[in-house]
Amino acid sequence: MLEVIKHNYAATVATIGLCIYFFITAIVFILKPIKFAEQYSMRPKDEAGKTEIRVYYGGISFALGLFLAILAFVFKKPFYSLIGGLIFSNTVFWTRLVFTFVDKGWKCAYTKLAIPAEGLFIVALWICFAVAVAVENALPLYGLA
């Protein structure tokens, strides 16, 4: 394991950050689904809606964190984990950005927090990717170049 991390510092740091983000998101939405859903400008219609919040924000976040952790630390592919995190994070960010304008949601408090926070997060992930490729030579290491 230490050998994998030694050649993949940037991807390992990114994976740890992604896992912490997903696991904390999972915990708060599983334990307090309505409280946190309301902070996201959502309110369930009934008990099934509460369960859906737990499943889609809690369960899927946990699954994503677990998947990235297993990919990086069990299968020893932190660079692939970083790429997966980049795909997910960029998709969420750009979908949010586009539909904030389509839905005219830019005045909402959550949007004012989410767009800059997610934007900074993906910039940090892209920096980790650049370091992994340019400094740590990740592409040939993973047979991608």
For the cut 80, the answer to whether the pLDDT of residue 141 exceeds it is no
Q: Note down the domain range covering 126.
A: 2-139
- Distance, in Å, from the CA atom of 9 to the CA atom of 12, rounded to the nearest integer, reads 5
For the cut 90, the answer to whether the pLDDT of residue 138 exceeds it is no
Signed CA dihedral, 14, 84, 30, 32: sign only: positive
- Distance, in Å, from the CA atom of 13 to the CA atom of 126, rounded to the nearest integer, reads 12
Is there a domain that residue 144 lies in? Answer: no
Number of structural domains the chain divides into: 1
pLDDT at 142: 76
Is there a domain that residue 106 lies in? Answer: yes
Is there a domain that residue 21 lies in? Answer: yes
CA distances from 104 to 21, 120, 141 (A): 27, 22, 45
Mean pLDDT value of segment 17-37: 95
Is there a domain that residue 35 lies in? Answer: yes
- Output the pTM of the full model: 0.87
Is there a domain that residue 145 lies in? Answer: no
Average pLDDT over the chain, rounded to an integer: 92
- Distance, in Å, from the CA atom of 11 to the CA atom of 82, rounded to the nearest integer, reads 6
